[in-house]
Structure 1
């Protein structure tokens, strides 16, 4: 077992499942997956599971990684958005797992969050 330390790097398996909090420090979901650019090796997007119970019936949101900041006090990632903004954001269902790789979908996500695309 790894001791809790402060490092510049973190293993993806320690990020997956980490809580995600909203602007008001309310728990809104958890990190499901990280999407890594093949050539550059950088995390570009994060899939966040929102709502549901035990992962069932939840909405999945692909977000630019740059939208999240780790909050030491909360022990999770902070997403500086309102619940309404997240509710209106592009999303996809669990059975549409290829959706976050679709360039049209990615474009809609980056436009919605007003983040310059990585491509």
Structure 2
């Protein structure tokens, strides 16, 4: 069994990040901790200075980074071109450090790099069940019509046409083209 390498977060700052081709992508800027779950939420990497992307920071799941043994280098298996579309933020405008904005950003980056996000778990809030992906269930069993319907420019759900849910279509006429 290999001996684990354990570092303080401040010692990682400035470590080089390369891709599998050996191309330098950037440097580690910070490590965001999840103190509720005693884990690393994500690593912040500065990728500034290429392809018109400057002064931007990008969160990357810790699982996406592999440390090169004996070196202050991490490998992120992603092409430089793909980083152009990566979810990032300005160095002076970090995503919310706590709460929903932070969880939304974490979910976004985990998905972008192909990892399951630990922050899409379900929470119970009052009588409704809410998840970080914005779905909302009404456990009381009330229908949309009983709650007042859905309106769009003065039209009710009936006037909008059908909505499919698990193979069923709600009653309503087809929406007319304008």
Q: Using structure 1 for the length normalisation, give the TM-score.
A: 0.81
Q: Does 1:30 align with 2:27?
A: yes
Identify unmatched segments of 5+ residues in structure 2: 120-178
* Alpha-carbon shift at residue 28 of structure 1 (Å): 1.1
Q: Does 1:113 align with 2:113?
A: yes
Once residues 60 and 35 of structure 2 are traced to their aligned partners in structure 1, the CA distance between those partners, rounded to angstroms, is 17
Q: Using structure 2 for the length normalisation, give the TM-score.
A: 0.56
Q: State the match for 1:3 in structure 2.
A: none
* Number of equivalent positions: 111
RMSD: 2.2
Mapping of residues 1-119 of structure 1, within 5 Å: 8-52=5-49, 57-72=54-69, 75-99=72-96, 102=101, 103-119=103-119
Task: State the structure with more CA Rg.
Answer: 2
Q: Which runs of 4+ in 1 moved over 6 A?
A: none
Once residues 59 and 105 of structure 1 are traced to their aligned partners in structure 2, the CA distance between those partners, rounded to angstroms, is 15
**Which protein has the bigger helix share?**
1
Identify unmatched segments of 5+ residues in structure 1: 1-5
